[in-house]
Amino acid sequence: MKYVLDNVESQFEMFQILNEDGKIVNKNSMPDLSDEELKELMRRMVYTRILDQRSIALNRQGRLGFYAPTAGQEASQLGSQFALEKEDFILPGYRDVPQLIWQGLPLYQAFLFSKGHFHGNQFPDDLHALSPQIIIGAQYVQAAGVALGIKKRGKKNVAITYTGDGGTSQGDFYEGINFAGAYKAPAIFIVQNNRFAISVPVEKQTNAKTLAQKSVAAGIEGIQVDGMDVLAVYAATQAARERAINGDGPTLIETLTYRFGPHTMSGDDPTRYRTEDMDNEWEKRDPLVRFRKFLESKKLWTEEDENKVIEEAKEDIKQAIKQAEQQPKQKVTDLIGNMFEELPSNLQEQMEIYKEKESK
């Protein structure tokens, strides 16, 4: 009998362009980005790191609600988003708010999503995306559908969706990649492997050595990428996008990353399942530090640039939280009114009851 597992797993070596010292180790794969674009990538990562810090603080002050910290995952999130076109469709998981913001979601609406206000999800018409999915993996099957729709419409676009390492254990993960594969639909499936599904380490999640190899079963392209290297993530997503719009089908991209913070701000304590050594080990791979070193070596980034972004982010956040807080409180009548195009009689009756209650 012939066993194949070792052969399969050995094919999924991590793709990297910048090493931890910010040095290019894979010159041939260096994406074709202008200096301005490289600086923009850095600007977005710094901005998003500040947004994360401020969101955590605002959550602690009770001014934001549900929040899933993003620090550590900027390269995975923003490197992949940077490869998208405006008409591409994003199906994010709950930690993937930064991609929506950089694709055009106004910051105050991101805050409203956190505060549990439906206006946060009333996206601008030119933002092609769903609001963050809460059910793990549900967005994967939907992404197959969006991608098939894009293909049927003959558009040169992709559907891109995100889940985590835990998400790859869901049936919907496999159904999503398999459907997209069967229809050769233009989908990009990103798995941000941050090593923990809340507290369960990836080693307990699966016997697979890589998550990228799960693509093999569905017969689609797969790659494991250094998720702390923004250039590698960008290059992989860009290549996947090219394949997809050329009709070559979907790609599964596993990004190896780490969330520096807790799972969410709702009482998770990472010290219960992670060691300080592990945290320190991964902080050395901080995507911002690495990319900053690279840009500094090319004389593209200065402390002044950095401070300018920090100030800009802080100011935007201040304005956005103010705007979010000025939003009128969501009413039950809003909720009733958004259940159906036309209200059935039971809801009409309940609408009257709540109109009365809310007028007091």
Check residue 77 for interaction with another protein (CB under 8 A). no
User: What residues between 83 and 102 interact with another protein by CB under 8 A?
Assistant: 89
Distance CA 287, CA 265 (A): 22
Lookup: tokens for 320: 């956005």
Do 159 and 188 contact (CB within 8 A), yes or no? Answer: yes
DSSP 248: -
Residue whose CB is less far from another protein, 109 or 257: 109
Q: How many C-beta atoms lie closer than 10 Å to residue 82's C-beta?
A: 22
Check residue 138 for interaction with another protein (CB under 8 A). yes
Lookup: tokens for 30: 């260096």
Select from 311, 338, 353, 356 the one that contacts another protein (CB under 8 A): 338
- In the complex, what is the shortest distance from the CB of residue 202 to another protein, in angstroms, rounded to a whole number? 23
| Residue of 259, 274, 290, 292 marked catalytic | 259
Backbone angles phi, psi at 18, to 5 degrees: -105, 130
Nearest Cα residue to 171 out of 215, 140, 211: 140
What contacts 206, CB < 8 A, 6 or more positions away? 168, 169
Q: How many C-beta atoms lie closer than 10 Å to residue 35's C-beta?
A: 11
Check residue 111 for interaction with another protein (CB under 8 A). no
Select from 148, 223, 233, 265 the one that contacts another protein (CB under 8 A): 148
Select from 17, 146, 223, 244 the one that contacts another protein (CB under 8 A): 146
Select from 182, 216, 217, 278 the one that contacts another protein (CB under 8 A): 182
Check residue 335 for interaction with another protein (CB under 8 A). yes
Q: Residues interacting with another protein, by CB under 8 A? A: 89, 118-119, 121-123, 130-131, 135, 138, 140-150, 152-153, 159, 171-172, 175-176, 178-179, 182, 334-335, 338-341, 344-347
Catalytic residue positions, numbered: 259, 263, 273
